[in-house]
A and B are shown apart, each in its own frame.
Chain A
Amino acid sequence: MTQRAMIIDDSRAMRSILRRIITGLDFETAEAGHGQEALDLMEAGFAPDLCLIDWNMPVMDGYTFITEVRKRPEWRNVTLMMVTTESEQGQIVKALAAGAHEYVIKPFTPDAIVEKLELLGLSGKGIPA
């Protein structure tokens, strides 16, 4: 079964970069401009296997989004990967403690996203990478 990814970033340009990488891996994608919009899409039925999450966004930031997703048992299988310019060691530790599985620091090259998804055993097609 095709896997689904939600791209959560307030920048359209960044969503476009991530979308090109992720659709290249055969993921189906949805996009949200902030955490609340992503939660709304998930409530409405979009069930992602993977979320790519920016940290600094209006309305609801990525860190809060992760803590919200982790409160919900029905979303426990969603893989959460931060993709953000927040790059202090303390921030990475904080995001991992809140339930993020992986962390990519901006700027990144397309390979970085592909390789991180391999580490997570996600390949888009539902076959382990």
Chain B
Amino acid sequence: MTIAPEMTDVHAIVEQVWSSFLGDEEPLLPAYDADGPFGADDAWSSAVSIHGGWTGTVTIELSKNLAFSLTRLMMAMDESEALDDAEVADAVGELVNMVGGNIKSLMPGPSALTLPVVAAGRAAHSSDLREVSRFDARWAGEPVRVSVHSPS
């Protein structure tokens, strides 16, 4: 049997990260888009791995629009200021770091957290990893998916 974080716990963690940094005027709404809510072209993804008492990978995928607007919110920049990819990568990386660190604390420890890896595009998972938990949501109409993979 694989030990996996509960979907409700993943939801609670994502919700807290969202409302702390992105304000709570706009709620994060759970969504159920079976095929994944967005195309590969306009997505960003970031991942951290957990090694130790429990081993797995936490991944966040989100639409490019969402990646840009949350970067602007975190950096307190307005629409007129240009954003470069490094800034978006940094913000999206910090997001998965916060979610991943909190998921780590739910699992058997002690474990260590890697630094985030960020890419433009959807995430690719190696074939020896299996998805054990997933949370899909929309924020201001834009999709975000948080998934947890662990070795099968």
Contact = CB atoms under 8 A, between A and B. Distances in A.
Interface of B: 16-17, 20-21, 71, 74-76, 87, 90-91, 93-94, 97-98, 100-102, 104-105, 109-110, 113-115
11 contacts: A11-B90, A11-B91, A11-B93, A13-B74, A16-B76, A56-B113, A85-B101, A86-B104, A86-B105, A87-B105, A88-B110
What are the nearest 7 A-B pairs in CB distance? A85-B101, A107-B20, A11-B94, A13-B91, A13-B74, A87-B105, A107-B17
A20 interface: yes
A90 interface: yes
Nearest to B17: A107
A11 B97 contact: yes
A12 B75 contact: yes
A31 interface: no
A113 to B, nearest CB: 11
B105 A88 contact: yes
Contacts of B71: 13
A interface majority secondary structure: loop
A88 B108 CA distance: 10
Contacts of B94: 11, 13-14
Given A17-B74, A107-B21, A12 B90 contact: yes
Interface of A: 10-14, 16-17, 20, 56-58, 84-88, 90, 106-109
A122 B105 CA distance: 30
Contacts, number: 64
Contacts of B21: 17, 107
B interface majority secondary structure: helix
Contact of A106 (B87, B101, B104, B110): B101
B101 A86 contact: yes
B101 to A, nearest CB: 3
Contacts of B93: 11
A16 B76 CA distance: 8
B115 A58 contact: yes
Contact of A16 (B75, B105, B110, B113): B75
A10 B118 CA distance: 14
Contacts of B75: 12-13, 16
Contacts of A16: 74-76
B87 A85 contact: no
Given A85-B113, A107-B16, A13 B101 contact: no
